[in-house]
Structure 1
């Protein structure tokens, strides 16, 4: 058995695994199943080298232990080719806290309720052209543009910002995926310009901090009681501009693709819209738009017989954890009203759970 396992999980085998290099969802999840069972802490030399966690309990424990599993060294794999660090994603507590407090303040239930009608209007407006022509690309024609409007409403941006944000953020993401440093910088600079303009305006025209992220950020102080540094304030707004632009189109694509193949479920949700919230939670579990985020350890640890040392990235793979059969029965199936659906980690866990979860759920 030891010889067979060594053959299956040689370094070459891991580095070439669909779990590491593929964009094919079915192949990726097959490999996650194999790793989870036989190699729960896999190391790959791809992208500079990192460990891959695939078991639910390991992923959850890492996400909740922000003292051991830190975000300030590496938060995503592959990371921004320029090595920039923006709060709150790339910060650890206590430096992380004021930025997260400021953003959370603007996403309370009362604010979400007030945004609902405007967001419904944008959804209907953007869907109408697709309905009129009888089809389209739900991810690009609707998802990316709708996400831009959600960001525009949340951040109180000028209406003309939405189409610019949609095109610029999309171009930035594609450049980042290609690890194209020059293009990444070009489009990121445009997003930074928007962020600087927002903060400059909020200084001159402050708004209710419970209604406006920029104004909320300007109220916060660091752990020493000092105003937050300008470079990090701009970085946080810049992070906020992009963070909600990547996941929604992917999530909508996964949902619509599933519904196109499950006509019975589609009809059930049409006939009884009260079932939609429960369906959404199961969709988020199944089609987590981010495979996961990265951490490094603050001290050497042992996990499943493997030594993990500081500085070496670890992928806490939420998409693998969400299909762990030890936690979710029939994990690859859509199960409406799954009894333990609240355990899914589609929005992460711990200090770095998705800040936009209330908006995403709406």
Structure 2
């Protein structure tokens, strides 16, 4: 067992930049690193190692621990908490509702909400781009995508953000309390769909209730877990990523002006921002047997963090990996949405939300910069959860 090995300390205070500095150091001197903090885990920081673990579900499973620090205290939530083939019927049900075509149908919805959210910020001359903009829009889009009652949107936003803050503060009791509130919402939504079914081609809850695996309906408790997972999982990444983008563009006024002048560059910029500021570092796997990475042996049964945020800056794959390069030639190789059977099912919806948020922020302003200190995200996310901006007059 590696219990005594301490190659780095993930519990130390961080700024927005120091987490990436740490991973650059680990890639250079100790790319397969162990810590005794957060229950003890290994961190894979290089691209090929992360890709290998993410792409080999028969060896690296998620059903033991799927995130560092361990935050799942309230039951199994498909599909992330299950291994193939058990997870497959849930992904089979979910994927069509998150296709590119279906996701892009919600772009006008996202744009409408983006403009409404930005209007008071523009009038005030600025505001917190995370808590007042980027944390709201994904909830509103998700609310329409999931067909939740309109009066649920604000409680969902409050519960989802409370869960994110509890995770970032590493407060297990608060995580449990907020997670249980989300479970209550999931059960209420399922009861509503049982009483008032909707077209399963347009409604994920109805689709789960109608789904069959080997001729049998999916277990009730796992349907509840999946609805609970879907309710919050799409809120976190767009919020954190948008905060990072706002910081970067505040520091690089020339790039901000370039994107504002030519919005056709925004989709390519979003893709490079996804690589440069991948919002997750803590998705985890557990090896079912001893495995070797970079000359170090990771014993079976120990938690392994797939540090996507570090892998996407690996200089062996992305030259000048810590720099923003618009239209980077091999940008499609990035791992921001994972790899293998647990790659992010919401890739198209997430891309669309961030693209729209950035387009509308640039269109609504003539310029912006930082108006105060930012609050960095903590494990398992990386980026920022509070970014105060000042808009140009």
| Cα distance in 1, alignment partners of residues 253 and 183 from structure 2 | 44
Report the 3-state secondary structure (helix = DSSP H, G, I; strand = E; otherwise coil) of the residue aligned with 1:295.
Answer: strand
1:26 aligns with 2:12: no
Kindly state the Cα deviation for residue 269 of structure 1 after the two structures are TM-superposed.
1.0
- 1:107, distance to aligned residue in structure 2 (A): 1.3
For 1:69 and 1:81, the matched residues in 2 are separated by: 18
Asked if the contact 2:269/2:326 (under 8 Å) is kept, the reply is: yes
Match of 1:330 in 2: 320
The answer on 1:314 being equivalent to 2:304 is yes
> Using CA pairs below 8 Å that are at least 6 residues apart, which structure has the higher relative contact order?
2
Q: Distance in 2 between matches of 1:109 and 1:184?
A: 32
Secondary structure of 2:153's partner? Answer: helix
The normalised TM-score by structure 1 is 0.92
CA deviation after TM superposition for structure 1 residue 72, in Å: 0.4
User: Contact 1:81 / 1:180 at 8 angstroms: preserved in 2?
Assistant: no
| Cα deviations by residue, 1:214-250 (Å, 9 ceiling, x for unpaired) | 111112223x432111111000000001101111111
Q: Tell me which of 190, 196, 203 is aligned to 1:205.
A: 196
Question: Within 2, Cα distance between the matches of 1:265 and 1:193?
Answer: 44
C-alpha distance after superposition, 1:233-275 (max 9, x if no partner): 0000000011011111111111111111111111111111111
Q: TM-score, normalised by structure 2?
A: 0.85
Is this contact kept in 2: 1:145–1:162, CA < 8 A?
no
Change (3 A) 1:103 1:67: same
3-state DSSP of counterpart to 1:267: helix
SS for the counterpart of 2:78 is coil
The ranges of structure 1 where at least 4 consecutive aligned residues each deviate by more than 4 angstroms after the TM superposition are: none
Q: Which of 237, 250, 255 is the matching residue for 1:247?
A: 237
Deviations 1:334-356 (CA, angstroms, capped at 9, x unpaired): 10000000011111111111121
Task: Give the direction of change, closer, same or farther, for the CA distance of 1:211–1:259 in structure 2 (3 Å limit).
Answer: same
- Greater alpha carbon shift after TM alignment, 105-114 vs 66-75: 105-114
Residues 292, 319 of structure 1: 8 Å contact kept: no
Corresponding residue of 2:88:
97
* Distance apart, 1:20 and its partner CA: 5.6
Aligned to 1:5: none
Q: Pick which of 203-212 and 71-80 moved more.
A: 203-212
2:104–2:349 Cα contact (<8 Å) kept: no
Equivalent residue, structure 1, for 2:337 = 347
Structure 1 residue 358 corresponds to structure 2 residue 348: yes
Aligned-residue offset at 1:24: 2.4
- On the 8 A contact 1:47/1:77 being kept in 2, the answer is yes
Q: Which has the higher strand share?
A: 2
Q: 1:262 aligns with which of 252, 266, 279?
A: 252
Unmatched tracts of structure 1, length 5 or more: 1-9
How far the C-alpha of 1:36 sits from its partner, in A, is 1.4
**SS at the partner of 1:30?**
helix
- The structure that is helix-richer by fraction is 1
Q: Which residue of 2 aligns with 1:193?
A: 184
